[in-house]
Structure 1
Amino acid sequence: MRKDAKIYVAGHRGLVGSAIVRALEEKGYHNLIYRTSSELDLRQQSAVQHFFAEEKPDYVFLAAAKVGGILANSTYPAQFLYDNLMIQANVIEAAYRNKIDKLLFLGSTCIYPKLAPQPLQETYLLTGPLEETNEAYAIAKISGIKLCGSYNREYGTNYLSLMPTNLYGPNDNFDLGTSHVMPALMRKIHEAKMMRQSTVTVWGSGNPLREFLHVDDMAQACIFVTEHVKAEKAGEFINIGTGVEITIRDLALLLCEVIGFEGKLIFDPSKPDGTPRKLTDVSKIHHLGWKHRIELREGIQDTYQWYLKQMEEANE
């Protein structure tokens, strides 16, 4: 990418989009464009087409999506499916019509079958039933992968799809009703410490294994792939992760250590665990030349300091 290339980051205020903006600016890319959801509703085809025709970006990072944890996915499946289908279809079609040089579509490793062999290789897509609690979101993201691949085959476009593992970091969603496991646990444990509670209840058995990638690493992966990898070399999509997993129980204990909570953890097995295990095979991205840099404890410490700063600013 040229340093003066016009780059559109869709979803620039979200967890991933904001990290991509930070990383691009740090690397000297200065011609960035973005719109808030109130300024541009990506679910509206005509509005998206008008925006692309007017702005004519050279590159697109499609990080805009409706996202959430188990509770949100289970409660609002129609919204998760419809909103994500419309966002990605409208942006990808507009990119094609306006001859965008390169588009990067971001999905999630929830696309894989619930009981797929571990670690999850890209070839396992569509080989079995999905996890029920996030099926709608997964189907939308699978559609995005197939849409990018279909445009590449039919029109010769250069659209790449990346499937990150569980992401966390600055600008995460800490709403207990809609957040993912990392920010939800961080907030619950922090509040328990501040309120001098003796216990914290954690959803599920604590036994599921999860992999976590700091969002700044994810942003670096996005830029690396955009700068160096062509769609025909990437295949249908590329996993992005660390290749390292941890149980939810051990994650909660690590959060307690970093936050300084000395109480007891209580696990509630009546609440859903979700997928038993979800470890990505990252051999493809390693072979292409990228590897994560931020280890879990360091990333949690960084995220917790950001969270504390946000709390301070909110109380001023």
Structure 2
Amino acid sequence: MKRMPRRQFLLAASALVAVPLAGARADAKKPLRIVWFSAGEPASHTPYTEAFRDGLRELGYREGRDVAIDYRWRGETLKTYRWMASDIVEEKPDLIVATCEISARAAMGATQKIPIVMAASTDPVAHGLVASLARPGRNVTGLSLNEIEIVAKRLELLRDVVPGLRRVGAIMPADEPISQVELARLEQLTRAARLELVSYRAPGADFEAAFSAMRKAQVQGILDYSALSVTFPYQREFTALALESGIPVAYSLREMVEAGGLMSYGPVAKALFHRAAYYVDRIAKGAKPGELPIEQPTRFELAINLKTAQALKIEFSPALRLRADAVVG
């Protein structure tokens, strides 16, 4: 057997040592530094932060020892998403968890190096955030809500509880251009169903004006579009105004029904945030975000609120009651 000259052997060995795994952290002994970049505020997001932390614990991570999470809430500051993203990137975390499409877009605009995990996004391909679900590319991956099909199910719910439904409403954030994509989808959906869509661009949390406009337009039901839901940081305020207006709303999240909303259909949100921990673990172990396929939800739930239905003088059909995964009130 021919022996390799000592000089060549040493050069080859040093080359192997010098090249780390793709995406692996430079100092794996220090806790993984994660920034949680959210559109909401702590109180309403507690179930999701806990689901994420549970996911990390199940994968063997211990906070303080293996991982440190810094929470950034859009609901607690006057800063724009872009401004917040710039601040986050300046701190050079190991990874960013974006809880919605808007925070993901801001983070991607601020860095092309720091890995980004989307815990929940409506349609990252349609929004131009990724090249495809199978191979996202760039520095982002995560989970998609498959919202296009789900919102059609919510429309079916409204038709079940509102006989002769003709005019449907949607409340969207006024200051987020990304909602134009969602609005176009809703327009396409309602046209196909031969329904009229009335949209309202809500400035901030001015929901009273939004519902006033809906009543004036004689809207018979409202569709909540999950990733751009202006309702989420203000669950009880929104559901209370919806009840006061007398307009049924089909929500995207079960939590809105627990806060007094009429009904919801959508993915089990906590399961998505729990699954986000898997992506964090893969990236921490060297996987490239852009090569990790984006997953879609596999668990969905229907929730109804009997007390709210009674207040709105709505009667759920026996079939709908049987289908419900959660009955509140």
- After TM superposition, the score normalised by the length of structure 2 is 0.42
Query: Hey, which of these two has a bigger chunk of strand by percent?
Result: 2
